[in-house]
Amino acid sequence: MMSIYAGTDFPEVVHDLSGDNDEDVLHFGIDDTDNRLGGCTTHLAFKITQRIIRDTSARFVDYPLLIRLNPNVPWKTRGNAAVCIRLTSDKKDQQKIIDIVKYYVETEAVVGSGADPGVVIFRGRQVPKAIMEFGKTAMCDIIHRRDAIRLAEKYNIEYFLLGKGRGIIGSLAAIGSLLEGDHTFEAIAYRRPENVGTPRILEPDKIIEYSRSTFPYTFNNFDFKHKRVLIAPHGPDPVFCGIRGENPRIVLSSLQSLSIEEQLEGCMVFRSNQGTNMHLVNEIKLPEARSFTSGHIRCTVRSRPHIAKGGHTLFFVERDGFSLPVAVYEPTGLAKTASLLVEGDVLELGCGIRRASIKHPKILNVEYFMVLDLAKDLQLRNPTCRICSKSMKSEGKGKGFQCKKCKLRESSSSNKVSIQIPRAISTGLYIPTPKAHRHLTKPEHRFGLEKVSSDYRKELPIHSNWIILD
């Protein structure tokens, strides 16, 4: 049995972008290397990193970054993830490192099966502000390949494309994503080629044990409600499992606690925007809402929700005189709760915008909702009998009411009465059940745990075992 912690300590990451001169820092962005048959961009980054460590004297200035982009892009890869590797090296090693990156992208990415790789290479200590803004936009919007190419050429950034080269968008965005605010970590263990496609053997009891003992500093390990393991993919993927959390030490120790018996290729720690809701930071303006974008909006419920076929809850919201339909889908676990809303409730919605079709307009697909203010739920009821206190029955429009018990009649001038119904929902945050979380979904317990600056460089000493090789 191989321990993923076995082996020699490798060079420590140094959070320092100031090399001997400006060109000593290299930033590599890589995206769209997986395909319909399998593959994984993070696995490719792992193989590139281990080769750089073995064949060069490069120093890494950050953990490899795992950047999840706008999850509503229709042509996205499975997890819509790009990676960024930042390092310093002697000039004599720089071309060797570039050749290593290109070699692995050319040999590992299966273009004919759907991969459209893009590699971006930026040299310099300071990432241009325009590239950083590009990274923010890629979290929530649609960006065309030509715009990424124009921006790369404007700043003399090298790029290398295969197939349609759509990966240049994510690659450039990954370089622009410094994650100097909120971020998380993930320790990913990789399978040997001969094991890919075979069942992954994990003991749920061990996952439950470390999940409980490390809470709230790891997340999305196990869905206790549905008794479902969340740390492992299900397809022919080189990833064995991945553990997400607040710092590198805790994700590595949690991975070790699993005592995985399968012989692994190794593991690597990534710094990431997973679990941050980074794709929902921008504010959506309803009149300008565009298909496939993501964000949040403060709005008012304008129609009483109804539950449609399949258990999905549908209603309309309004902001500044403009209205759009909202869908809360049953798998999120929020549909029944959303059905308790009434007209006039004030909400904040985190959502993606589904494109209009022949049958339907644009729809706000809810990822979370926050009830900010509850309206009174007033419903019209038949009057109560003044003799026996029973609800009376209408005798027809304009014909008055009659008590079913004592037969007392009320004149046609009597009206229904307005009754305030107690609300079965309260103000607060409502997020999906863990099994329905996207990679970027912020778990409820992370609200308040967000990192708000780049102080992680001081607060989190870099673990020397950030990459483990077989």
290 in any annotated domain: yes
Quick: pLDDT tens for 325-361.
Answer: 999 999 999 999 999 999 999 999 999 999 988 888 8
| pTM reported for the whole predicted model | 0.88
> What pLDDT score was predicted for residue 37?
65
| Residue 197 and residue 144 share a domain | yes
| Residue 194 and residue 72 share a domain | yes
Q: How confident is the model at residue 9 (pLDDT cuts 50, 70, 90)?
A: very low
Range scoring the smallest mean pLDDT among 121-130, 377-386, 459-468? 459-468
13 in any annotated domain: no
227 in any annotated domain: yes
142 in any annotated domain: yes
Using DSSP bridges, classify how beta strands 294-301 and 313-319 pair: parallel, antiparallel or unpaired. antiparallel
* Cβ atoms of 80 and 71 closer than 8 Å: yes
Quick: pLDDT tens for 165-200.
Answer: 899 999 999 999 999 899 999 999 999 999 998 999
Q: How far apart are the first and last CA of the chain?
A: 12
CATH of the domain at 188: 3.30.70.2200
| Residue 99 and residue 53 share a domain | yes
403 in any annotated domain: yes
CATH of the domain at 434: 2.40.50.1010
31 in any annotated domain: yes
12 in any annotated domain: no
CA distance 410 to 402: 6
Q: How confident is the model at residue 17 (pLDDT cuts 50, 70, 90)?
A: low
Q: How confident is the model at residue 272 (pLDDT cuts 50, 70, 90)?
A: very high
HSE-up (13 A, CA, CB side) for residue 441? 23
Query: What is the count of structural domains for the chain?
Result: 3
| Residue 402 and residue 356 share a domain | no
The kind and range of the H/E element at 244 are: strand 239-245
CA distance 199 to 126: 45
| Residue 202 and residue 74 share a domain | yes
| Residue 389 and residue 311 share a domain | no
Residue with tokens 């044990």: 209
Host domain of residue 329: 278-374+423-439
Sign of the C-alpha dihedral computed for residues 219, 224, 229 and 230 taken in this order: negative
Residue 34 has pLDDT above 90, yes or no: no
> What pLDDT score was predicted for residue 73?
87
7 in any annotated domain: no
> What pLDDT score was predicted for residue 463?
47
Quick: pLDDT tens for 385-417.
Answer: 777 867 777 766 767 787 776 867 777 656 777
| Residue 139 and residue 104 share a domain | yes
Helix (H, G, I), strand (E, B) or coil at 178: coil
